[in-house]
Each structure stands twice: as structure tokens, then as C-alpha cells.
Amino acid sequence: MSLNLEDVARIARLARIELSAAERETTRDQLNDILGFIEQLQAVDTTGIEPMAHAVDVVQRLRPDVVTETDRRADFQAVAPETEAGLYLVPRVVE
């Protein structure tokens, strides 16, 4: 499998990354290199091996259902670009 420039443009759009024409070409080559590595991995026979969802073979630790956080809105909003009435303000989004 290899990606063309159109695929790269689409992935960049989904990730909200702006790429120039030159960057698109480098990115295509880099991504295709990565896909090449994956192809090598896929050549390994994994019959009978259970797939892993994580690199370490440990399970999720769980926390008790207790409220431990306090209100730190003032701290967080002190570094926000724009706030009003306790809300974070962002460029208007309309569905």
C-alpha cells in the first residue's frame, strides 16, 4: 500500500494541518516509508498469537468513584485567550 498526494492532502485536512505543496511531497515519502516498515512487520507469521491492544501486557488500573477535584476555573481561565461569564470563547462554530 502506498499513499499519493491526494491521500496526504485528505489526511492533513482531517488533522487540521496545513501543508505546502513541497511539504506534501516530503510527508508522502515519509508516510510511505512508515507504511513500508509496517509491510515488513505484516510479513511476520502471527498465527495463534493473541493480538495486543497495548505494548505492555498489563491491565487497566481503576479508581474509586470519588470526587477529588476542586474548582480551579480561575487558574485555568487566567491563561485562556478569551473568556466570558465563566465560558471559554472560541471563533463561532455553527452546525
Partner 1 sequence: MSRTTQWEVVIGLETHAQLQTKSKIFSGSSIAFGAEPNVQASAVDIALPGVLPVLNREAVVCAIKFGLAVGAKITPRSVFARKNYFYPDLPKGYQISQFEIPVVLGGGLAIRVGAGETATEKFVNLTRAHLEEDAGKSLHEDFHGRTGIDLNRAGTPLLEIVTEPEMRSSAEAVAYAKALHALVQWIGICDGNMQEGSFRCDANVSVRRPGEPLGTRREIKNLNSFRFMQQAIDFEVQWQINEIEEGRAIQQATVLFDPDTGETRSMRTKEDAHDYRYFPDPDLLPLEIRADWIAEVKSGLPELPQAMKARFETDYGLSSYDAETLTTTRAASKFFEDTVAATGKDSAKLCANWVTGELAAHLNKTDMPIEASPVSAAQIAGIIRRIADNTISNKIARDVFEALWAGDGTDADAVIEANGWKQITDTDAIEALVDEVLAANQKSVEEYRAGKEKAFNALVGQAMKATRGKANPQQVTDLLKKKLGG
Least gap, CB of 89 to partner 1 (angstroms): 4
Angle made by CA atoms 19, 21, 26, in degrees to the nearest 5: 80
Q: Which of 51, 12, 55, 57 is nearest to 31 (CA)?
A: 12
Q: Of the two residues 22 and 86, which places its CB atom closer to partner 1 in the complex?
A: 86
Stretch that binds partner 1, among 1-9, 23-31, 40-48, 55-63 (CB under 8 A): 55-63
Q: How far apart are CA 4 and CA 26, in angstroms?
A: 11
Q: Of the two residues 22 and 79, which places its CB atom closer to partner 1 in the complex?
A: 79
Footprint of partner 1 on 16-45 (CB under 8 A): 16
Which three three-digit cell numbers place residue 23? 511539504
Measured N-to-C along each axis, helices 21-42 and 5-14 cross at an angle, to the nearest 10 degrees, of: 100
Footprint of partner 1 on 70-89 (CB under 8 A): 71-73, 76-77, 82, 84-89
Binding residues vs partner 1 (CB under 8 A): 14-16, 53-56, 58-69, 71-73, 76-77, 82, 84-95
